Amino acid sequence: MTPRVVLFDYGSGNLRSAERALTHAGALVEVTSDYDTSLDAAGLVVPGVGAFAACMEGLRARRGPELIGRRLSGGRPVLGICVGHQVLFEHGVEHGVASSGCGEWPGRVEGLSASTLPHIGWNTVETPTGSRMFEGVENERFYFVHSYAVRRWELVTDGRTRAPLVSWSRHEHDPFVAAVENGPLWATQFHPEKSGAAGTKLLANWVQQL
C-alpha cells in the first residue's frame, strides 16, 4: 500500500520539487497546512527555505511545533529538510537576531565560518555506521544551499536509549551537521529533492519505513 505523506505548507519551502521527488520515491503526497490531515498522515515532511525566524513564524501560525511534537510523541515519522531541519533545534541566530526553534534537539543554528557564502552545490557527507537514511547512498554527494547550520551537536544521552545517528559535512574547513536520524525524526540540511538519484534513494529509504 502506498503511504500517504503530507508536505506541510506553512509558507516556506520549495513545495513542487519536493512533491515530485517524494512521489517519485513512492509516496502518495498531499500538500496542505491542515492540522488534522497532517497529524493523521503516515509521514510528515517539513520543508524550509529562507530565514530561521520567518520559518518559525510561519510554523507557529499553523501550529507546526505542536503538530511535530504530537506526531513524535506517538512515534509517527517526521522529515525536516533544509530550514525545516534547522527549526528542529532550540535556537537560531541570523544577522544578530535570535529566535527560538521547535526544541526537539538542543543546539543553535548559526552562520558558517567560511570565506565564501552561501555554501552552494554538491558536497559529500560523513555517514555513521548503521544509517537507514543513507543506505545505498553512503558515498554519494548531495546538494546544499545555505549559509547557516548547526556546527556543534549538543545532545547528551544516558546510554539507556539509542543515541541519534548524526551525519556531518563541511564547507571549507568548517564542519556542520548534515543530517540526523533520531527514531521517527529524520532531518537533512541538504536538499534531497535536488540531489538527483541519490536524493531520490534517500527519500525512498524514508518512505519505505513509514
* Marked catalytic residue, from 85, 119, 146, 191: 191
DSSP for the chain reads -PPEEEEE-SS-S-HHHHHHHHHHTT-EEEEE--HHHHHHSSEEEE---S-HHHHHHHHHHTTHHHHHHHHHHTT--EEEETHHHHTTEEEEEETTEEEE---SEEEEEEE---SS-SEEEEEE-BPPTT-STTTT-TT-EEEEEESEEE-S------SSSPPPEEEEEEETTEEEEEEEEETTEEEESSBGGGSHHHHHHHHHHHHHT-
Is 125 within 8 Å of 175 (Cβ atoms)?
A: no
Does 102 participate in catalysis according to the annotation? Answer: no
* Marked catalytic residue, from 19, 110, 140, 193: 193
Q: Give 99's strand partners.
A: 92
Specify the residue for cell string 556543534: 152
Does 193 participate in catalysis according to the annotation? Answer: yes
* Marked catalytic residue, from 19, 55, 82, 146: 82
Does 119 participate in catalysis according to the annotation? Answer: no
**What is the distance between the alpha carbons of residues 34 and 201, in angstroms, rounded to a whole number?**
28
Catalytic residue numbers read: 82, 191, 193
